[in-house]
Amino acid sequence: MSIPDGVRVLERELRGICGQRLHSLVVYGQRSAARSPAQHGHGDGEAAVRTMAIVDGLNAADLRACAALTASWHDRGLATPLLVAAHEFERSLDAFPLEFGAILADHVVVSGRNPFDGLRVDAADLRRTCEVQARSHLLHLREGFLETGGRPDALAVLIVDSAPAFAALLASVARLQGVADADAGAVSRHAERALDVPGGIVADVVKLAGVAEIPSAEAVRLFPAYLEASERLVQYVDGWRAK
């Protein structure tokens, strides 16, 4: 991918703040952002360019200097950068296997060495985190349904609000099985086969990740199958073992 001019300016600004302590700057998540335009950064509401800076030590003065530039970064279409101390990323892979695994799978080095050479997410850590996320999602759906009081309009809001998290979870489960860099349609089809649910059930929810609202009648039709797919996802991840 071509590096946006705003990222080049960011690199110079971070270099001015950190000097030789700035080891690397990477852009990440651009392929997934292109596939999921509803995912935004902390900028002005449009899809923002996400970056990570690897720095040899971070102090309060560094953070103050960066804080003074944050508004200008947002104006240039950049999300607030992730500032990571040297070796912090690799030591955090077991704690954030989903988030950091996604960065490993989709990044471009802007300057410095590639900080991710030789790194990978342990399958056991990823499976455990997927299970936590899947169980949490299922509990959220059940609780959310009760809180709708049975109102179809509230159910529509619940489904739309939860769809992005469901789509992200399915992508993580696909990565657990070695299905990487797939678009939303491929992830949905993979999930439907793995969960043994009728074709289109998962896809119908995933495609709502970028939708503002749906008709109440559609929500009433969709929710039972969505709930069943979420239950099967928990069972699937709980029983998954690396081959």
CATH number for the domain spanning 223: value is 1.20.120
Q: How confident is the model at residue 33 (pLDDT cuts 50, 70, 90)?
A: low
Looking at 79, 112, 145, the residue that finishes a domain is 112
**In this structure, are 89 and 139 located in the same domain?**
no
**In this structure, are 107 and 198 located in the same domain?**
no
* Residue 118 falls inside a structural domain: no
**In this structure, are 132 and 221 located in the same domain?**
yes
Looking at 65, 92, 112, the residue that finishes a domain is 112
pTM, rounded to two decimals: 0.74
**In this structure, are 27 and 100 located in the same domain?**
yes
Average pLDDT over residues 109-134: 93
**In this structure, are 65 and 140 located in the same domain?**
no
Cβ–Cβ under 8 Å, residues 127 and 94: no
CATH number at residue 40: 3.30.460
* Residue 61 falls inside a structural domain: yes
Q: Which domain holds residue 129?
A: 123-239
Torsion of Cα atoms, 123 then 128 then 130 then 132, to 10°: -170
**In this structure, are 29 and 88 located in the same domain?**
yes
Average pLDDT over residues 62-80: 96
**In this structure, are 129 and 206 located in the same domain?**
yes
**In this structure, are 17 and 70 located in the same domain?**
yes
Residue 237 in this model has a pLDDT that exceeds 80 = yes
**In this structure, are 130 and 232 located in the same domain?**
yes
31/232: higher pLDDT:
232
C-alpha distances in Å from residue 64, one per residue of 18, 73, 130: 12, 14, 35
**Mean pLDDT lowest among 12-26, 53-67, 186-200:** 186-200
**In this structure, are 168 and 105 located in the same domain?**
no
Cβ–Cβ under 8 Å, residues 43 and 13: no
**In this structure, are 63 and 145 located in the same domain?**
no
Domain count, the chain: 2
**Mean pLDDT lowest among 28-32, 33-37, 57-61, 157-161:** 33-37
- Given this model, what pLDDT does residue 47 score? 73
Long-range contacts of 152-156 (CB under 8 A, 24+ apart): 152/216, 152/217, 152/219, 152/220, 153/216, 155/216, 155/219, 155/220, 155/223, 156/213, 156/214, 156/215, 156/216, 156/218, 156/219
* Residue 117 falls inside a structural domain: no
- Given this model, what pLDDT does residue 155 score? 97
